[in-house]
Amino acid sequence: MRGRQLAGTLRTETADRAAELAERGARPHLAVVTATADESSAWYVRSIARSAEKAGLGCSVVDLGPDAPANAVRERLRRLSADRGVHGIILQTPLPEGARLEELASAIDPVKDVDGANPLSLGRLATGLPAFAPATAEAVLALLDHHRVELAGRHAVVVGRSTVVGKPAAHLLLDRNATVTVCHSRTADLAAVTRTADVLVAAVGRPRLITPDHVRPGAVVIDVGTNPTPDGELVGDVDPSVRHTAGALTPVPGGVGPVTTALLLQHTVRAALTL
Ligand code: NAP
């Protein structure tokens, strides 16, 4: 289940909408706030900025440095929230030692919270109110829809309960009438639970944790994991040998990742249309 074709379609739609807005004199603008020296984060931010530019969106990267105090990050998010020229705001992780994403992201105006990081966005999502879902969680659903995977009445197992991926993915699957189980590091006998999944979502951050033993033959497996290896490659949370057991598997790279970036841009244009 590759993501590049879907990402391409989403990017084209976004570019068309951005062009319509530009004709009316409004250019959607995304601000990415970073406070880290992490190399893979810097790579990701550059790739967002490039994609934004290609789609005709403005993008500014606000680099506060790895030693930025939490207050400085919060204050910058507040200023960007009040800036009429900015339509979408992302707070990039990792954050400086001791800072919590959920706490800092509360300073992002929910209407500009295009990566669903403000706890208000997750609360709205969980209660069925309109909100931006975290783009990665939404990318899971977008891929399942694109590949016409039926969800109603099926058992979806999400491995990982983070507020950026696991929890929102579980809410989105529940909204689509799947029966959802969420696993985590304290789950007893993970493989016994994941083997009951019709749809298995791995969002763990442990390279190749999910092996054929964890997968029911024919199940659909979505690999959210992006784990850098010492030789600069990217591997998922799912061992590639799972493809012989699964009915379908998303690749890493080239699965969830490109769809996530495309959705961030789509959200930014949507925010620009409402602001
Ligand atoms: P995270 O905040 O570290 O959460 C990891 C989750 O996995 C936690 O809930 C943890 O359980 C659980 N876990 C850890 N070890 C486990 C084990 N052995 N068995 C079962 N569960 C286990 O990570 P995240 O931010 O959700 O990211 C997860 C992965 O997705 C990472 O590889 C990340 O790079 C990737 N990611 C990809 C994209 C994309 O666009 N493709 C975007 C975001 C993240 P506890 O809660 O009990 O600790």
The string of pLDDT tens digits covering residues 192-213 is 999 999 999 999 999 999 999 9
Shared domain for 74 and 182, answered yes or no, is no
In a shared domain, residues 60 and 143: no
Q: How far is the CA of 125 from the centre of ligand 1 (A)?
A: 20
User: Does the pLDDT value for residue 89 go beyond 80?
Assistant: yes
Residue 210 lies in a domain: yes
| Sign of the C-alpha dihedral computed for residues 16, 20, 21 and 22 taken in this order | positive
**Distance from the Cα of residue 145 to its chain's centroid:** 16
pLDDT given at position 159: 99
Query: Considering only CA atoms, which residue is closest to atom 40 of ligand 1?
Result: 257
Compute CA 58 distance to the chain's CA centroid, rounded to the nearest angstrom.
20
Please, how many CA atoms are within 13 Å of residue 132, restricted to the half-sphere of its CB? 30
pLDDT at 232: 85
Same domain? For 104 and 174 the reply is no
Distance 13 CA to ligand 1 centre (A): 30
State the distance from the centre of ligand 1 to the C-alpha of 78, rounded, in angstroms.
28
Residue with structure tokens 């954050």? 95
Q: Would you say residue 22 has pLDDT above 80?
A: yes
| Number of structural domains in the chain | 2
| Closest protein CA for atom 2 of ligand 1 | 162
Q: Give the domain CATH number at 178.
A: 3.40.50.720
Ligand 1 pocket mutation pick from 1, 39, 165 by most atoms within 8 angstroms of CB: 165
- Closest CA relative to residue 259, chosen from 97, 179, 145: 145
Identify whether residues 195 and 102 lie together within a single domain. no
Query: For position 39, what pLDDT does the model report?
Result: 85
Helices and strands in the chain, H and E counts: 9, 10
Q: Which own/partner pairs from 18-21 qualify as long-range (CB within 8 Å, at least 24 positions apart)?
A: 18/55, 18/56, 18/57, 18/269, 19/56, 21/269, 21/272, 21/273
225 Cα–ligand 1 center, Å: 7
Instruction: Return the pLDDT at 133.
Output: 98
Query: What pLDDT does 27 receive?
Result: 95
pTM over 0.85: yes
Range of the domain at 209: 135-257
Q: Is the residue at 172 inside a domain?
A: yes
Q: 221 lies in a domain? A: yes
Residue 152 and residue 87 share a domain: no
Q: Please indicate, yes or no, whether residues 153 and 93 belong to a single structural domain of this protein.
A: no
Q: Which residues line ligand 1 (CB under 6 A)?
A: 136, 159-162, 164-166, 183-187, 190, 203-206, 209, 224-227, 256-257, 260
Residue 9 lies in a domain: no
Instruction: Judge if 38 and 96 occupy the same domain.
Output: yes
Question: Does the residue 269 lie in any domain?
Answer: no
Q: Same domain, yes or no, for 103 and 167? A: no
Examine the domain organization and report whether 220 and 158 are in the same domain: yes
